[in-house]
Amino acid sequence: MPQCENCDGYVTERFVRVFGDNEGRVFGCLDCIGATAVKNGAALPFRDARTHLGGAD
């Protein structure tokens, strides 16, 4: 059963596929960081979130 690495809360496999990293991990979920933060990449590790969000180099 997939879970959030931040709060150990349950997340669906679809949530992991959409918001997780290539290892199948999420570092924040709707229970611990909120929908806007998840949408903006906060469920990824910091280094991956910067890359996927197209931030300035």
SS (H, E, C) the chain: CCEECCCCCECCHHHHHHHCCCCCCECCCCCCCCHHHHHCCCCCCHHHHHHHCCCCC
1-55 confidence digits (pLDDT tens): 899 999 999 999 999 999 999 999 999 999 998 888 888 888 887 654 444 444 4
pTM of the model: 0.70
**What pLDDT, on the 0 to 100 scale, is given for residue 3?**
95
Q: Report d(CA 31, CA 51) in Å as an integer.
A: 24
Amino acid at 15: F
Is 17 exposed, middle or buried, given 0-12, 13-18 or 19+ CB atoms closer than 10 A?
exposed
**What pLDDT, on the 0 to 100 scale, is given for residue 46?**
67
